[in-house]
Structure formats: C-alpha cells, structure tokens
Amino acid sequence: MGAGFGVAFTPENLLFVFIGVLAGTVIGILPGLGPMSAIALMIPIAFGMDPTTAIIMLAGVYYGAIFGGSTSSILLNAPGVAGTVATSFDGYPMARKGAAGKALAIAAIASFTGGTIGVVLLMLIAPALSSFAVSFGPADYFALMVLGLTAVVTLGGRNITKGLIAAVAGVMVSLVGIDSQTATLRFTFGMPELYEGVKFLIVALGLFALAEVFSMLARRGAGGADGAMSSLRLNRRELGRIAGPTGRGSILGFFTGVLPGAGATVASFLSYSMEKRIAKDGDTFGSGNPKGVAAPEAGNNAAAVGSFVPMLTLGVPGSGTTAILLGALLVLGVTPGPMMLSDRPEMFWGLVASMYVGNIVLLVLNLPLIPLFAKVLKTPRAVLIPLVVVFCVVGVYGLSFSVFDLWLMLGFGVVGYLMRQNGFPAAPMILGLILGSMMERSMRQALQISYGDWTTFVTSPYSAALLGLTVVVLVWPLVKRLRKGAPATAAGAPAEGAEKEDTTTTP
C-alpha cells in the first residue's frame, strides 16, 4: 500500500483522480447519463495516457458517477444512474418535507463510508482471490465467463428471453472479423473495414451515449431543481441512526458487487430491502426515513468498488460498467487477470490507493458544492445533446479516421434506442461483446488441451460447479414462474445501463 500511495500521490495522478471524480459526479447527477455513458465518453481522453493514470481516472469517473447520482434522485425523483433508484424512495420524500439538505448530506456521508469500506475489503480480499485464481484453467475460465454473462441476463431486466437475445447479439458482434486462430474472415460481408472486427468504443458510445441522445430527443420538456436548500448539518442522534444501515449496506454491497453481473443497482436494492426488513421502523420506509437513504447509498458505492475484484483478479467484469473499463484496459494494452498483482503491482496498488484519495475528494466536493451541482440539472437539452454528440464523433473518428466507423456508431445508436423502447437491456449486449472473444478463446484452449473431449468442462471441479450454478441461475426464474403462474422475471433490479422502469415513485 505504501508503494500504491507513492503512485497515487504523484502530481499527475492526483490531478486525474480529481478530474475523474469531478466528471463522474457531474455526469452522474444528470438524469439518464449513467456511469457507462460517462466512462464511454471519457475513454477517448484516456488514449495515449499512461495505463495506470488512465485506469485511475476512469475508475474515478465510475465511483464518482455512483456518488453523484443521488442528487437528482433526491431533488427531482429522477435518478441520475440506475444504482440510485432505491435512494429516491426515501430521499425524494425527505426533499418534499424540506429536508433536501439533510438527505444529500446523508447520501454523501453514506457514499463515502461505503466506498471506503469497499476499498479496505478490496485491499484485503483481492490478493487472496488472485492467488486462488491462478489455479483456474481454460475450462474454468470459460465456465466463469458463462456464469458472469448469465448473471447479467437474469438480473438485467424483467424478461429473461430479451436479456438472452441481447447477450447473444453481443457475442455475435464480438465474432466479426479475422479469426485469430485460423485467419479466416467471419461475418465481414466483404467489407474491409470489418476485417479487424467491430471496435468496442463504437458499440459502447452507440448503445449508451447516442441511444440516450435519441431518448432525450424523444422526450419533451425538462424540469429544473428548486434552488432552496435546507441545512446540511446532522446532529449526533441523526448520525447514530444511519450508522448501522451504512455499515450493513457497505458490507452487503461490496460482496454483491464482487459477484459477476450484479453491480451497484442490485446492491442498492438488496441493501434497501434488507434494512427495511430488519429496522424497527421499517413501516416508515418510503415516506422519508433517513435509513432508506443511507443503506442504498452505502451499498451502491461499496458495490462499485467490489466490482473491481473480479475484473482485476480474474479478468471478468463484475458489472456492465467494469465491462467498459475492461475494454478500455485491453485497448491500452493491459490484460487484467491473476498475474496482474505480480506483473503490474504499481497499477493495482496505485488504483487501490487512488480510491482512498478519490473518496475523500468526493466528500470534500459534494458537501459544500451540493447547491452548485443542483444547478447542473437545469442544463438545457439544447446545449447538452450537441456536447454529447461531439464527444461521440470526435472519440470514434479519432480511433481510425474512418467515416464508416461513424455510420456504424450511428447504427448502434439506433439499435440501442430501439432496445430501450422495447425493453431489451443493453448491459448483456455489451458484456457479450467483451466476453465473446474471451469465451471462444478459453473454450478452444480447453478443447485443444483435452484433444477435443467436451467432457473437460464437467470433469474439472471448478468448471462443473460454475456451470451448475449457471443452470441454477437460469432455471430459478422458471421455477418461480411455475410456482406463481406469472411470467418469468429477473430476481433483482435493472442492471446498470438497462432501461429503467418507472419505479422512482414512492413505493
């Protein structure tokens, strides 16, 4: 950790920690622009940077967006990110009662605590998990990635079939281009521009940023936040009331975030529902209970940190957002995995140390600047939409100076908008794109080692257990359907980046 702080405290890295968390906070409080869109927009800035500095900045954007997303949830009942939907259940009623300042202060303190506890657990658990992961073979990695993709499908929306379709579409897109093992062309339709495959940034900006632009254009009218702000101060009694929910939400959120496919959204709902069940005043949740703000805010920020564990130690994204981060690292020439702690220790421990610094910066930024950030909600769409489009065009065109890539991004933007309109989650598609080629490579390696024996996927104990868990994850919603006689639904909230339902009203 001493070496990590040595990396984090360099002037350049301190600057980009600040830039990352500030950009993430501002983008997070804008309704609709979540952490995935934020990171996708920041990736072009990361090109050409030192990989350690780049991941420090992009990670700051991630947990900064989760940190700042509570502002619009509390002030407007319009969550800036999917992970803060649960915060609006009690945060918005508090704001209506004239306690918006206290609600925002509780959210900031709980977010800081959850993020810090998450970093401590990351520091303690990640090395052990990395040592364990070294024993994984190709068959085990294939099964792990199948489980991660399946978890996103089942948690990514109400209709599992639509989630599976999105995931398969992402895997199909990942197979476009020249086969790395046989050098044959696949799904290029005679277009030389597709020989190198479909670039990750094109899909990410199209599915999330451009799709959001189209959604903004489809929606009319824009509300502004009330400039009145109550006191931000909390007395000892109020701090005592939120201490338990914050601690429990932090621990539950971190371990939820470690699970591939769960992410901050699921963690926030789980933390909220757990606290509502065990609290003596649980019947007051939904009417402005401060515990209902503290628990989900601690949970989603701890989960944001926890999702780095499988990405850094196994090379498997723990959420849709870390899938984008994984893609960014691969573009920068860094391959996360079990050997990262030994091969790139300065990057791993520098990132962990920067998270400590970033959480402190976020707390210092958010408490005094809450009234200023609230004014960002009044940004006219006539200004916001052109800025997003310019970022997308410059980012994609700067990759290869190809107009074809711009048309391709526009096509994915239309696809992303249609997916939103018809209830198809975007997170499984982006994960399918990231994991597709990796799954294929691990499957081929496993079959080569076993001389074409497919039973290798069930004779390996780790692989058999993970595939068995995958079957359980897929079958369990069907069992619930048979029991209740209702359509199969996911056992959780919408995943990050998935189309959010109108669940932001007080339950």
92-106, 352-366, 487-501: range with highest mean pLDDT: 352-366
Paired strand residues for 186: 177
**pLDDT given for residue 129 in this prediction:** 65
* Per-residue pLDDT tens over the stretch 294-321: 999 998 888 888 888 878 887 777 666 7
Length of the chain: 507
From CA 494, how far away is CA 192, in angstroms rounded? 38
State the pLDDT at residue 220. Answer: 63
Does residue 177 sit in helix, strand or coil? strand
What local confidence, expressed as pLDDT, does residue 216 receive? Answer: 77
**DSSP-assigned beta bridge partners for residue 178:** 185
List the alpha helices (DSSP H) in 377-426: 381-400, 403-421
Residue 497's pLDDT band (boundaries 50, 70, 90)? very low
Query: Around Cβ 61, how many Cβ atoms within 10 Å?
Result: 30
Taking only the tens place, the pLDDT of each residue in 371-389 is 665 554 456 777 767 877 8
Taking the C-alpha atoms of residue 151 and residue 427, their distance in angstroms, rounded to an integer, is: 11
N- to C-terminal Cα distance for the chain? 44
**The predicted structure's pLDDT at residue 378:** 56
pLDDT tens sequence across 146-174: 887 786 676 555 678 888 898 899 999 98
pTM of the model: 0.63
Identify which has the larger pLDDT, 211 or 259.
211
pLDDT of residue 506: 40
Highest mean pLDDT among 72-81, 397-406, 474-483: 397-406
pLDDT at 375: 55
CA-based nearest residue to 294, from 115, 65, 116, 111: 111
The single-letter code of the amino acid at 356 is Y
Cα separation, 31 vs 381, whole angstroms: 11
**Mean pLDDT computed over 101-105:** 83
